Structure 1
Amino acid sequence: MTLYIDADACPVKDEAIRVAERHATEVKLVCDGGIRRPNSAWAELVIVPGGMDAADDWIAEHAGPGDICVTADIPLADRCIKAGAKAIDFRGTEFTEAAIGSKLAMRDLMADLRSAGQMEGGGGKPFGPRDRSAFLNGLERVFQAVKRKR
């Protein structure tokens, strides 16, 4: 089991590492640079060269059954699920095979509306302490589910 973290804009890196350490699980923080090396024997910083989706591509190529991916990127979550891994967002919501299609469709619709000038802005609500707590609970649930499947 490996925990992959889409680390470029992840607000819960430290929390994810703590949960993985408790489960004696290897962590790969994947980014295109600019973050500090994690202070954990279980965590490795993977810096990928390349374009905008290079970190996503690296994670999708390496994640598989029994692994977990932490990401807010819906297309990356979809790729991980299709590879047999679990995926969870920064607010503790697990991406599931049953719901990922509608999440992708909604994401694409919103992007189309924004590009057509029908909507302004984007992004979500501010990230707060409750979100951090929900993430910790959600990640623990995902770890337990993966361990039960073994």
Structure 2
Amino acid sequence: MPIPTIFVDADACPVKEEIYRVARRTGCPVQVVANSFMRVPPDVKLTVVEAGPDIADDWIAERVQRGDIVVTNDIPLADRTLKAGAAALGATGKAFTESSIGAAMAQRELMEHLRSFGEGGGGPRPFSQADRSRFLSALDAAVMKAKRL
């Protein structure tokens, strides 16, 4: 049974502790990728990449393999992850899928366009305990599915 690596796009990830907990319970290695140093547990690998747009995303996309899991809220990285045969999961527990990624990419482009005209600001809603709980369930399910591949 294959063991997936969990890659974490860490700079704005609110569920790192939950990832570590699931990884320990399931035996999955964790690779945290960030633009600056951050404390991680001794059993977690940290890679610090240069600051800059998409550098952490590129690092992950170049290394992710079929069956791995990427935790990210970055839609283009989620798209690249799916194309590599891996699973992509948002911090609220939303799984990106082949059928949903096209709409997510289109919505992202629309919001970027609106922001360029000063519209559509406000950002995402606050992260809630329900989001955290949904994420834990979704990550558990993603790990179990990856181990069956």
TM-score by structure 1 length? 0.93
Residue 20 of structure 2 corresponds to residue 17 of structure 1: yes
Alignment of 1:138-149 (within 5 A): 138-149=138-149
Shift of 1:86: 0.3
- Asked whether the 8 Å contact 2:61–2:77 carries over to 1, the reply is yes
Alignment of 1:99-118 (within 5 A): 99-117=100-118
Aligned length: 146
**Cα RMSD for the two superposed structures:** 1.1
Q: Distance in 2 between matches of 1:40 and 1:65?
A: 26
Amino acid in the other structure paired with 1:140 = D
* Cα distance between partner residues in 2 of 1:34 and 1:40: 14
State whether residues 36 and 51 of structure 2, in contact with CA within 8 Å, keep that contact through their aligned partners in structure 1.
Answer: no
Unaligned runs of 5+ in 1: none
Question: Which of the pair has the greater relative contact order for Cα pairs under 8 Å at 6+ separation?
Answer: 2
Note the alpha carbon deviations across 1:32-88, whole angstroms, 9 max, x for none: 11421x1142x1111112422110000000001010000000000000110111000
Cα pair 2:93 2:137 within 8 Å, conserved? yes
Runs (4+) of structure 1 exceeding 6 A deviation are none
For the structure 1 residues 95 and 44, does the alpha-carbon distance in structure 2 shift closer, same or farther, using more than 3 Å as the test? same
Gaps of 5+ in 2: none
Secondary structure in 1 matching 2:13: coil
- 2:134 is the counterpart of 1:129: no
The C-alpha deviation readout for 1:10-43, integer Å capped at 9, x for no partner, is 000010111011111110000011421x1142x1
CA contact (8 A) 2:66 2:84 kept: yes
Q: Secondary structure at the match of 2:125?
A: coil
Give the TM-score normalised by the residue count of structure 2.
Answer: 0.93
Equivalent residues in 2 for 1:39-78, closer than 5 Å: 39-41=41-43, 43-78=44-79
User: Aligned equivalents of 1:120 and 1:85: distance in 2?
Assistant: 31
